[in-house]
Structure 1
Amino acid sequence: MVAIRVPRSMRAKREVLKHAPKLVENGKKMLILHGTKTSAVLNSVLADIFHLKRDHAVKYTKKNDNIRPFESGGETSLEFFSLKSDCSLLVYGSHSKKKPNNLVFGRTYDHHIYDLIEVGVENYKSIESYAYDKKLAPKLGTKPFFAFIGEHFESVEKLKHLKEMLLDHFKGEVVENLNLAGVGRIFVCTAISPTTVCMMHCALRLKRSGTSIPRMELVEVGPSMDLVVKRNQSPAESLRKEAMNTPGHAKKVKNVTKDVLDGKTGRIYIPDQEVAKLALTNDIKGLKRERRDAKKNKEHSKKQKVNPE
């Protein structure tokens, strides 16, 4: 287990807060792991995924024997590696006779397994198998487009889950503004059947169209593969509520408003002031002398009734 150390300086506290879960995550890192046994195809798949996420990925090449993602207690090692490498996205590859070229995509919240989905890789083509003009090679680290083709992504629950998982794993950092000139690649995912998705990675080639908007062409640069969905694990209800927690609305302050021009404005209460034992009220017209004398006489008579001599 990882030893828990209490930070003793402000610099150490700031580093701990950087690794703490946030309401809005940005730039998630991916952890790539190998199982007890892997095939040559699966090794190439994991290498290509690491190539696509090179700036935001950590890859362990050592084989792991005690990882069983969908079994009770088998996710402990995944949570340990997630905490050790500070990664919230997981990709685990394993190969066996019953489940050849098996991939498991997973997400964590606070370094606890949030959800998992298992797919089988078929009809795989690596990046090296494609021949194209190297000038068209997309720059890694840029923001990619996503195209999900097929009605099964909206009607089948497992494909909905796979769509969320692929978006979270390959979308990159969250940005507010995007320069279209720097976007040069796209992931095309086509639902062939309720359990099979064809995934391709293409480069965007801009050509003249006679207008100010260029015409786009797709050039397949790899990798491409068919993902056959097998098992999936949804998050626990308690963990889902904690992960989906959003910041509450600020408490409304009495007599405070916000204006577009003046900004934050408010009203304050000022009690009646006295000058030389003379009460000054907020009445604009003021009090006449006769009315003021009548008020004093009335108060004097009340005191005499309460405290008779």
Structure 2
Amino acid sequence: MLKMKTPKTGKARRELDKRAPKLVETGKKTLILHGTKTSGVLNNVLTQIYQLKKESAVRFSRKNEDVRPFESGGEASLEFFSLKTDCSMFVFGSHSKKRPDNLVIGRTYDHHIYDLVEVGVENFKPLESFSYDKKLAPKAGSKPFIAFIGEGFDSVEELKHLKEVLLDLLRGEVVENLNLAGVDRAYICTAVSPNRVFFTHCALRLKRSGTIVPRMELVEVGPSMDFVVRRHRLPNERLRKEAMKTAKDKAKKKEKNVSKDVIEGKIGKVYIPDQKVGEMALPNKAKGVKRERREAKLRHGEGNKHASKRQKEDSQ
């Protein structure tokens, strides 16, 4: 029998409540970690991805020898780190002669590996290499636009999968309403070839257009790089169906005495009980009530007089 540990403090209980499944999930956290060997370019790439997602990311600075995606037995440590940090996405960087400057972006379901995409990084340009007005720099935690340009994202299987993963990685928390003034950045992904994607990060500058909708200009602020798709692994069908399940909407409570009409719309019936006018309590200051009381007193007084006369006659 496995021993079940229950939280003993309020802080532990609140932390478990945050990690519990919800009907409407919050934004996904991203785990960023290194492999056994990395390069200077790859370290810079991981650092700048962490800066772009600083509010919703956890970064491990040490090397991890046991983490080997796409290999049997090499994913156990990755799943353990995902459970420990409560991260449902990860970016793993490694460097080797066969696969230089290698990035593995993956998602987890119930803290088990869901799918994986492996890309190589080429033509990397860091943030520092771009010159622009620092007032235009995007603010941390702002909502981005994400644009995917090219037919490959709809026709090539590898690029379609990469599009799904990048959307989850970059979009943050899903919201229904958005203030245009708070949107100050855009991620542009362009499919250059069936296995190469150009990625760049731009700031949005709003200018007057003479209408309600402002004119937008893009200012490249970095980083920018080329993603070369190497390997990818889709989730199996059973796991996909389980992960795509959504909570059923609660059945609406039936409204009584309500019907709908095409012309009149919603029609309701209102039932009013019978008005018992005779039993209604009238105010004491009503003139009619006072008159009735005076007449009742007079009648009552006359009845007492007649009764007293009869008693006297009987006594005589």
Give the TM-score taking structure 2 as reference length. 0.77
Name the CA distance, whole Å, in 2 between partners of 1:15 and 1:154.
40
CA distances 1:56-97 after superposition (whole Å, capped 9, x unpaired): 100001001111110112110110111111111100000001
Tell me whether 1:99 sits opposite 2:105 in the alignment: no
Name the CA distance, whole Å, in 2 between partners of 1:104 and 1:169.
12
Moved more, 93-102 or 201-210: 201-210
Counterparts in 2 of 1:103 and 1:11: CA distance versus 1, 3 Å:
closer
Name the CA distance, whole Å, in 2 between partners of 1:120 and 1:245.
33
Counterparts in 2 of 1:4 and 1:229: CA distance versus 1, 3 Å:
farther
Counterparts in 2 of 1:260 and 1:36: CA distance versus 1, 3 Å:
farther
Name the CA distance, whole Å, in 2 between partners of 1:49 and 1:70.
22
Residues 20 and 110 of structure 1 are in contact (CA less than 8 Å); yes or no, is this contact kept in structure 2?
no
Paired residues for 1:215-254 under 5 Å: 215-250=215-250
Name the CA distance, whole Å, in 1 between partners of 2:81 and 2:102.
20
CA distances 1:176-225 after superposition (whole Å, capped 9, x unpaired): 21000110000000000010000000001112223332211110000000
Name the CA distance, whole Å, in 1 between partners of 2:106 and 2:23.
19
RMSD: 2.3
What does residue 192 of structure 1 align with? 192
Name the CA distance, whole Å, in 1 between partners of 2:259 and 2:148.
42
CA distances 1:87-125 after superposition (whole Å, capped 9, x unpaired): 111000000011000000011111111111000000100
Size of the aligned set, in residue pairs, is: 259
Counterparts in 2 of 1:113 and 1:23: CA distance versus 1, 3 Å:
farther
What does residue 271 of structure 2 align with? none
Name the CA distance, whole Å, in 2 between partners of 1:252 and 1:15.
33
Name the CA distance, whole Å, in 1 between partners of 2:203 and 2:4.
45
SS where residue 104 of structure 1 aligns?
strand
Moved more, 170-179 or 9-18: 9-18
Please identify the structure whose Cα radius of gyration is greater.
2
SS where residue 257 of structure 1 aligns?
coil
Residues 30 and 89 of structure 1 are in contact (CA less than 8 Å); yes or no, is this contact kept in structure 2?
yes
What does residue 141 of structure 2 align with? 141
Moved more, 3-12 or 51-60: 3-12
Name the CA distance, whole Å, in 1 between partners of 2:76 and 2:9.
31
Residues 35 and 64 of structure 1 are in contact (CA less than 8 Å); yes or no, is this contact kept in structure 2?
yes
1:22 partner letter = K
Name the CA distance, whole Å, in 1 between partners of 2:172 and 2:129.
25
2:172 partner letter = G
CA distances 1:208-252 after superposition (whole Å, capped 9, x unpaired): 223332211110000000000111111122221221111235468
What does residue 44 of structure 1 align with? 44
Counterparts in 2 of 1:21 and 1:260: CA distance versus 1, 3 Å:
farther
User: Which consecutive residues of structure 2, in runs of 5 or more, have no partner in the other structure?
Assistant: 261-265, 269-316
2:115 partner letter = D
What does residue 60 of structure 1 align with? 60
CA distances 1:8-42 after superposition (whole Å, capped 9, x unpaired): 57774453232123343212111000000000000
1:129 partner letter = S
Residues 52 and 140 of structure 1 are in contact (CA less than 8 Å); yes or no, is this contact kept in structure 2?
yes
Counterparts in 2 of 1:39 and 1:9: CA distance versus 1, 3 Å:
closer
1:47 partner letter = T
Name the CA distance, whole Å, in 2 between partners of 1:24 and 1:235.
22
1:136 partner letter = L
Residues 108 and 114 of structure 1 are in contact (CA less than 8 Å); yes or no, is this contact kept in structure 2?
yes
Residues 197 and 228 of structure 1 are in contact (CA less than 8 Å); yes or no, is this contact kept in structure 2?
yes
What does residue 161 of structure 2 align with? 161
